[in-house]
Structure formats: structure tokens, C-alpha cells
Structure 1
Amino acid sequence: MDLPWLKSLIFWIIVVVVIFAIFQCTQKSEDNKSASTLMYERLYQCSRDLSAKNPTALKSIQAQIRPDMKQKELMQLINQCRQVNPLATQTTYIKAIQSIK
């Protein structure tokens, strides 16, 4: 019994599983890289206003931050900060940039 559709189905399942496995490995590898200076800058920009808005969140971030953090860990701190201090709109940032003298 010749079933070409079954062979094709098995082939595509294997291809999808391999691609998914490669993606997962790449993602884990990226998460374990050291955080860049730009990520620390983003956290600083978010947290500099927290002393007035939510000093408890600021103290929590200050207690967790270290110089040797991984990208995943620093992203968690940035997300924690963004929950308390959400981003402004694009228009707000554009106007702020244009008003710099």
C-alpha cells in the first residue's frame, strides 16, 4: 500500500519539530546572554521617576539589580517597572524630543 500523503505528513511534522527545537535553543541562548548597557539604561529611565510614584517598587528594583545580570532577569525588572510606570504615547516622546533646545 503506497501512501504518499502519509510520507509527506511525516516529513513536514519532522521539519516543524526541528525548526521549533532550533528556535527554543536560540531563545534560551539569548536569554542567558549578559544584559547590555542599553537595557540598564532603559531600566534607569523607567525607574528614575518611581521615587515619587511608587517608592516600594523602586526599592524592590534596587534590591534586585546587579552588574552581572542576564537579559531575561533584567527584562523582568524592566517589566516590573513598566507595570508601575507605563510608557507614554509615541506623540508624547516625539514632542519631547522636538522641544529639546
Structure 2
Amino acid sequence: MPRRFITADDVDRLVDAGTTELRFGDDTTVTDIARERARERGLTLIRDGDAPPAAASGSGPAPTVAAADRGRIRAEVRAAVVAELGSEPPQLERIIDRVLDEHR
């Protein structure tokens, strides 16, 4: 069977389509840039046979975010990311929304 490669473009397409997790087998190589992009965009990479990520391992429900706190949290996260990176990455607001929506 031919080797499969996951690239940063693949990650972008998956995230844009709403995918939050990508499972892949031993016949697949994820490029370093794709791993970095997945981390930036919130895509969880799971190689078949690896332990599931901590959030999915049954460690309890994800904490919830009260509607009143969303604006404050959004501003704090945005400011921290911009301070760390020096500029606002593309689609930052969308990523923050997605994370906050997962913790309603």
C-alpha cells in the first residue's frame, strides 16, 4: 500500500470543513508543518493505537463557560495570542468561537 502524507493544506481543508480530530494509521506520515498547523488550528491528530487525548479519555466533562464570561474570555485569549505571536493569526476569532462553543 502506498504511503500517505498529510500536509498543512490537508489540515486547513479539514478544519475549514469542521473536522476537529484526524485519526490515521501507520501508513501515514504527517509533515512537521502539518503538525504545527494542526496545533495552531485546534485539530487533534491521533495515530491508530495511540492513547486518546486527555480530554477524550473519560477524565470528566469539559468545563462550561457562562455566556456572560464569553466576551471577557475572548478578549483575554485574543490579547494573549497576539502578544505571544506579535500579530493576529488568520481565523483566530473563529477558533476562539469554536473552543468556547465546545464548552457551553
Q: TM-score range by the shorter chain?
A: under 0.3
**TM-score scaled by length of structure 2:** 0.27
Q: Which structure would you say has the larger Rg?
A: 1
Higher share of residues assigned helix: 1
**Higher relative contact order at CA 8 Å, sep ≥6: structure 1 or structure 2?**
1
**TM-score scaled by length of structure 1:** 0.28
